[in-house]
C-alpha cells in the first residue's frame, strides 16, 4: 500500500480516521492526516494526506501532498504532489503542481497543473519589460 519511505511513523499523524469509521462533515487540520475509513464532506489539510486503499472520500480534498490508495469522489487540489497508487480511484477534477500515477490507478476528470511560480511569473515578466524599456530609453539618449 505505502512504502516505508512514503509513510511517516504512526506518531507523526496528527489525525487518524480508522477503517471502521464513517464520518460526515468537514475535516480541517493544520497537520498530517491518515484516512482509512469513509468521509462524506470537505477535507482541508495544511499538511499531507494519506488515504488508505479501503478509504472513500465523498467531497473535495485540499492539501499540500496527497498519497492516494483509496477512492475520492470529488475535486482534489494539491499545492505539492498528488501520488495515485495502483488502487487509487479519482472521480473529479484535480489541480496539482506534481502528478504521479501508478499503473492500475483510475482517474476520470480534468487535470490542471500549476507551477510554484505561476502567480508571480506575470509580475516578473512585467517588471522585466519595464526595466528593458528603461534600458532602451537610456541608451537612446
Domain ranges of the chain: 10-135
Q: Which of 24-28, 101-105, 126-130 has the lowest mean pLDDT?
A: 126-130
Strand partners, 101: 84
Distance CA 140, CA 127 (A): 20
Span 8-61, pLDDT tens digits: 454 578 899 999 999 999 999 999 999 999 999 999 999 999 999 999 999 999
Give the contacts of 110 (CB within 8 A, at least 6 positions apart). Answer: 93, 94
pTM: 0.74
Q: How many CB atoms lie within 10 A of CB 4?
A: 7
Give the contacts of 75 (CB within 8 A, at least 6 positions apart). Answer: 60, 61, 92, 93, 94, 95, 109
Amino acid at each position: 500500500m505505502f512504502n516505508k519511505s512514503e509513510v511517516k511513523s504512526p506518531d507523526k499523524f496528527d489525525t487518524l480516521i480508522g477503517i471502521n469509521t464513517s464520518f460526515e462533515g468537514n475535516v480541517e487540520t493544520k497537520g498530517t492526516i491518515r484516512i482509512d475509513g469513509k468521509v462524506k464532506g470537505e477535507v482541508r489539510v495544511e499538511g499531507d494526506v494519506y488515504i488508505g486503499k479501503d478509504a472513500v472520500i465523498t467531497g473535495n480534498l485540499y492539501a499540500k501532498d496527497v498519497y492516494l490508495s483509496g477512492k475520492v469522489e470529488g475535486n482534489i487540489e494539491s499545492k505539492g504532489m498528488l501520488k495515485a497508487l495502483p488502487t487509487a480511484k479519482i472521480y473529479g477534477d484535480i489541480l496539482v503542481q506534481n502528478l504521479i500515477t501508478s499503473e492500475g490507478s483510475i482517474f476520470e476528470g480534468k487535470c490542471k497543473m500549476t507551477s510554484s511560480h505561476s502567480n508571480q511569473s506575470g509580475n516578473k515578466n512585467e517588471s522585466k519589460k519595464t526595466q528593458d524599456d528603461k534600458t532602451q530609453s537610456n541608451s537612446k539618449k
